[in-house]
Structures are given as C-alpha cells and as structure tokens.
Structure 1
Amino acid sequence: MQLNSKTVTGILITTLVLGAVYYLFQRHRWLLEQMKTTPDNGCAPKFAVKDCDFHLVAPDHLVYKQPSLIQGRTDVVSVTPWLAPVVWEGTFNPLLLDSIYKPKNITIAATVFAVGKYIRFLKKFLETAEQHFFVGFKVHVYVFTDRPDEVPNVNMAAGRQLMVLSVPSSNRWQEISARRMELVQMLIEEKLQNHIDYIFCLDVDSQFHGRWGTESLGGLVAVIHPGYYRDSRSKFPYERRPSSRAYVAPEEGDFYYCGGAFGGLLEEVHQLAKTCHTNFVNDAKEGIEAAWQEESHLNRYMWINKPSKILSPEYLWQDFKPRNPEVHIIRFSGVVKNYAEIRPNV
C-alpha cells in the first residue's frame, strides 16, 4: 500500500510532537530528581510545602457553639478590604481552632531580643509565655542576648524549649532594633527551616495576660499598633522621605503595624526579614536611617505585601494606656518603663 504525501506528512508531524512531549516529560522527571539530590548551599533556602495554613480539618463529632452570620461583634471591623480576618475577642472559637491545628503536630518559634538592660524583662516574658502563648503546643523560644549568663531559669512544659543565642551589644538602641531583621533571617536560614512551621517575633519588654494561640496563625501575620488604630493614615508615623526605601506616601497605607509583634509561616517571615534587612542596608549606604528603623521597613513591606491575617491591638497593648471599650481583653502588652534608663543613647 502506498501512502500519499499528506499522509506521510501527518505521520511525521505526529511523530515529532510525540517525541517532543516525551522529551519534556523525561526532562521534567530529571529536574525533579536533581531538586531532590542537589545539596543546599545556603544561597536559596528551601522550605517544605505544608498544608498547615490551608487545609483545615475539624475532628469528627466535635461539639461547639453554632456559628452565626447575624450575631457577633458589631463594634469593630473584623475583615480588611483584601478579605484578611482581623482577630478580636469574640470572633473565633478557641476549642474549634485548637482541635483543627493540634493533629497537624506544628511547631512554633518565638524570637526575643534581650540586649543590654532589656535582659531584666526576660523572666516575666518567659513566665507569662508559659501561661498563655500556644499552651499545649510545641514552642521553641530563641533569645538573642549579649548577657547569656543572666538568662533566667524558667521551667518550661514538655515540648517547649529555650535556646540562647549570643549577639554583640551596641551603644545605640537604633542599631539593636535595626539588626533584628538580619538576625531573624539568618536564624531561619541556618537553624529553623527544617523543623519549624510558624514563627513570631516579639518584644521582650512585654508580657502575656491572656490567650495567644492558634487564632493567630496565618501566612503573613501583622499586629495593629495600639497607638494609632483610631487615627487617619495621615497621622501614622510612616517614613515620609521619598529617598528612603521605607517610604510610604501620605495618601498610602492601610494600618500602622507594630514592629514589636509580627509573624506567620516560616517562609513568609523569611521573605519579610530578608527584604527589610536588604532595604535597611541599602538605605544606610546612602546615609539614610528610617524614622522607626525596622518598624518603618516592616510597614512599607506590609503595605505592598498584604498580611493574610491581622491581630487586633489586644495582641500588643501599651500598659500606660487606658483600655478602650472595643478592647475586651488584653492578651499581650508592653510594660511601662523608663527609656532614658534602659536605652544606651537616650
């Protein structure tokens, strides 16, 4: 049987297409094998893909109060314009959330910086964290300090650990503040990426008063600053110099976020810390220091990279402020202190 030219051409084209598909398939398999076997040289941290924050499975037959669409908090906003939840007392069910996250066997890291005279706040921070911060979950607390011998001995529950990391002291509190992003980035790359799911970076001159738990988990988590949440954005203390990489224009910005409490999935916080540190260093090369150091860069970052969950001012109140009516509970707060006495250059 003789084949005409059109049939021959069709067979050739089909053969070429099938050959190309087979080549791409084999190439894809080879690349996957290379990714599995190529050692990590530290240049590009690899983060395991996890379903911690995306696939939420409740235990069968768990009994809890029925949710309502017509009853609940009406005195506060509980969702942002980009549909991120804002966590207030009365907007979540702790029993349900803990039951969802407990089977995931997650581990949460917390970082605190106890440099210079700030070491005096560490004992109360650690003791109250044992009482309120992710109780019943695996927690690793990393303390950065220039006074490791003065770290207090605090009894910690099973599954909870304290690690002390030595850092140099400084004559300027601004430098201590600015270095936090760099040290958090390095900590994630060198120690955490294989066994930590979430991380929260917290101020040591603070203490817990109430539950801080699974309701705070999210991809990128920000905390609303208690001093500005009732103000218009024009009053926010953003970095207003266009020459700085932390610049936020007067008509820009969503909320003013705390530099003393933020967190989320390890990969998200790594990207935040890396970006803020890089921008800080590049600013410094041009003789610029943002108004509130790493907090200014954090606010710039979160203006562009929207947080997936926002914690209300319950999660970092200020002890010198009277509680406003919408704040039903204070979970974490900055203690009253004399900055002139504890900061080296004030």
Structure 2
Amino acid sequence: MWPEKCQFRFGKKSLLFSSLAVAVLVVLSWYSYFPETSSNWHSRYGFSCKANSEGSVFFRSSPDNVNVIKLKRMVYPKSETLKPPRTNVLSVSPWLAPIVWEGNFNIDILNELFRQENVRIGLTVFAIKKYIRFLKTFIETAEKFFMVGYPVNYYIFTDLVGNVTNFNMTVGPRKQLIFLEVPSYERWEDVTMRRMQMIRDFTKQRFASEVDYLVCLDVDMIFQDHVGVEILSDVFGTLHPAFFVKGRDKFTYERRPESQAYIPEDEGDFYYAGGYFGGKVEEVYKLTNHCHHAMLTDKANNIEAIWHDESYLNNYFLYYKKPTKILSPEYLWNERDGTAFYLRKIRFIALHKNMDEVRT
C-alpha cells in the first residue's frame, strides 16, 4: 500500500482531464525529439525507401551517416533461379567465394554499386632491371581495359626511375603514374620474393591513405579485354592457368615440411598464381606481411621455397585467409596453353619472352 499522503483520488472529470494532459505532453515530447514528419520519422533510426517522380529508388540513412545511396532505374533480364548462366565451370568455392567467369556477372550493376562507394584503386607492378622493357605496353593496354572510368594510381616499383620516366607514357583523367624507387637485387629470385616486403612497406607508408583496393600484377603481361570492379573483394586470388584443371597432387606447392610454405600432397584447394592477387588495402597488408615474415623464417634456416613468393601466397590462402573472391583463368592466361571452350574471354595474357635472358 502507498502511504496515505501519497495516495491520489480522482473523480471521473479529473481522470479524463489528467489523461488528456498526459497525452498532450507525450505528443509534444515526441515531436521535440523527432522533428521529422510522421511519414519519415523512422529515418533517424533506420532508413526510408521512397520512389521519386522518375521511379528511382533511394535509401536514406540516419543523420549521423550522411551518405545517400541512390540506385538508378536499371532494366536487365531477371536471373532464373533454376537456370544458372554457367553450368560448364565451377562458379563458387566450397567456402562460398564466387569464382569470376564471363557470363556469371552483370558489370552494369556492379559499376553502379562500386561508383556509389567512390572507390579508389591502386595497381602495383614491378619494373626492375630488364623488366622495364614491358612497362610501356603494360600501361598502354591498362589504359584501354583496366578499371575504365575509375580513379587509378599506377604504383610502379623500379630501380631505374630515370629510364622509365622517359618512356613517354600518358594516362587519362583521374589516373596517376607514381614511380617508387626500390633496390635492385642481384638474383631475380630475390626480386620476386622481396615484392611482398615492398608492397607491405609502401602499403603502410602511403597506399592506405591513397586507395581503397590494391591489385598486384606482373609487368610482363598485357591487357586485351575488360578488367573491372568485378574482381574487387576483401582479398582475391587468381587460378593459375597451368593447374586449374589438375589434381592437387600435381600442384607445385612447397613439399618440404621444414618450410613455412609447406603444403602436403593431400591438401590444397586451388593453385593460385603469384602474379595476380589483391583486395582491400588492409587485407593486402596482412597477406604481404605474413608472407614476408614466413620468407625471413625460411631464409634464417637456409630454405628457399620452390616457387618463391607464389609458394607462400598459396600457403596463406590455404591456411590463414581463404580468398573471398577467385578469378578464373580469363584473368591470367598464357598462349602456350592454347584456348579452351570454357574461356569466353581472355583478359590478361603473358607476353612471349626468353625467360633466361630477361632474368640474367
């Protein structure tokens, strides 16, 4: 029971008056806290979805998050649940990472989504020693086919800055050529393994503040078809064209148990190429940092993995961080492997060269 002095007695009129007063106070308090009209008050805590006069749809986030996402009206064929566009190739990994093939994505939809995010893309390439001869053609073809319409920083690691800056390379709007001077190691094996360290170091020093995604490629290649935002993901790898139809026992993993790159013969998902990987800047940092430290451990034990940085990359993708997207061999091909019915496009292809000559 309430104490006598705290008890309240109301007649019918008093009760009605008090109820109305409370209701008025609640309404006034509501509108003082939610000044928006009742039709969109919920945008403070979630989002509103409306159709404008042109039929477009937009989502408005809370006032604390002022980004406005707009989706233009787009007309395209409806996806058929029981009719996948590709049935002759694997389109998803066992851990549900998409495998990117021509025919299983709509680039127009992807462009709309990525442009809303204002993504900035960095491309790293190493033009060291004799490999500078491939740089001009690489950049010229990238300008035609790589991330067309997006801002791109071409990060060119080279030991011959004075030479490559005289190549008369030009790039389009919102594109930049950035030359990063790095040491020239005596052996080509050291050059390829040190790439992980160099990418890691520059990611921390500058890439993290300049771009959102990094794409790390070999320079002795050319683009010959579209390569766009369909490749972007948290971290992606690329199926090696020489191994993607072979069993894991044929993969050239590092097989010595004493190496940090070791993978036994009865393990492995795919064989990934060392010359084509990437992802969000922070994920590329984790990948390159891990591989660099694994190499240092092996070097202290006088071990050099069979395929250098590629061996450590495969170990990382198997045991530490599986790719969230996998690129099909369309994105890395070699003419010596011929053509195949499953390749609807060949987007990035190795140049013919005398490997012994360019590596000495």
- Deviation at residue 62 of structure 1 after TM alignment: 1.7
Q: Is 1:257 aligned to 2:269, yes or no? A: no
| Structure 2 CA distance for aligned equivalents of residues 265 and 68 of structure 1 | 31
Per-residue Cα deviation, 1:104-127 (whole angstroms, up to 9, x for no partner)? 111000100011110000011000
The structure, 1 or 2, with the larger RCO (C-alpha pairs under 8 Å, 6+ apart) is 1
Deviations 1:72-98 (A, max 9, x none): 111101000000000000010011110
Does residue 338 (structure 1) correspond to residue 350 (structure 2)? The answer is no
Give TM-score scaled by structure 2 length.
0.79
Q: CA RMSD in A?
A: 1.2
> How far apart in 2 are the matches of 1:65 and 1:124?
37
Asked if residue 134 in structure 1 is aligned to residue 147 in structure 2, the reply is yes
Letter in 1 for 2:152: V
- The answer (yes or no) to whether the contact 2:70–2:116 under 8 Å persists in 1 is no
Is the contact made by 1:109 and 1:139 (CA closer than 8 Å) also made in structure 2? yes
1:296 matched residue in structure 2: 311
Residue deviations 1:216-252, cap 9 Å, x none?
A: 0101100000000010000000000000000001111
For residue 169 of structure 1, report the CA deviation from its aligned partner: 1.6
Check conservation: 1:316, 1:331, Cα contact below 8 A. yes
Q: Which residue of 2 aligns with 1:208?
A: 223
Q: CA deviation at 1:155?
A: 1.6
Q: Which runs of 4+ in 1 moved over 2 A?
A: none
Match of 1:114 in 2: 127
Q: Which amino acid aligns with 2:326?
A: I
Q: Report the Cα offset of residue 171 of structure 1.
A: 2.2
Preserved CA contact (<8 Å) 1:314 1:329: yes
Q: Tell whether the 8 Å contact from 1:97 to 1:214 is kept in structure 2 after alignment.
A: yes
The residue type paired with residue 209 of structure 2 is N
Deviation per CA, 1:171-201: give whole Å up to 9, x if none.
Answer: 2110000100000000100011123110010
1:181 aligns with 2:196: yes
1:78 to 60, 77, 91: 91
Partner of 1:32: none
Of residues 73, 79, 88 in structure 2, which corresponds to 1:67? 79
User: Matches of 1:245 and 1:237 in 2, distance apart?
Assistant: 15
Q: Return the offset for 1:66.
A: 1.8
The answer for the alignment partner of 2:31 in structure 1 is: none
CA distance in 2, matches of 1:77, 1:154: 39
CA–CA separation in structure 2 for the residues paired with 1:216 and 1:142: 19
CA shift for structure 1 position 64: 2.1
Q: Distance in 2 between matches of 1:191 and 1:65?
A: 42
Q: CA deviation at 1:58?
A: 6.8
Distance 1:118 1:68 in 2: 47
2:102 is matched with: 89
- Compared CA separation, residues 221 and 58, structure 1 to 2 (3 A): farther
What do residues 259-278 of structure 1 show as CA deviations (whole Å, max 9, x unaligned)? 00000011111000000000
Counterpart position of 2:344: 328
Amino acid at match of 2:249: S
CA distance in 1, matches of 2:137, 2:175: 16
Aligned 8 A contact 1:58 1:96 in 2 = no
* Separation in structure 2 between the aligned mates of residue 97 and residue 153 of structure 1, nearest angstrom: 33
Which residue matches 1:313? 329
1:150 maps to 2:143: no
Distance 1:87 1:63 in 2: 22
Using the TM superposition, give the Cα deviation of residue 149 of structure 1 relative to its aligned residue in structure 2, in angstroms. Answer: 1.8
1:167 equivalent to 2:179? Answer no
Give distance in 2, aligned partners of 1:239 and 1:265.
Answer: 27
Matches of 2:109 and 2:168 in 1, distance apart?
A: 34
Superposition pairs of residues 224-303 of structure 1, within 5 angstroms: 224-303=239-318
5+ long unaligned stretches in structure 1: 1-54
**2:218 & 2:188 partners in 1: Cα distance?**
13
Q: Which has the larger radius of gyration?
A: 2
CA distance in 2, matches of 1:71, 1:279: 41
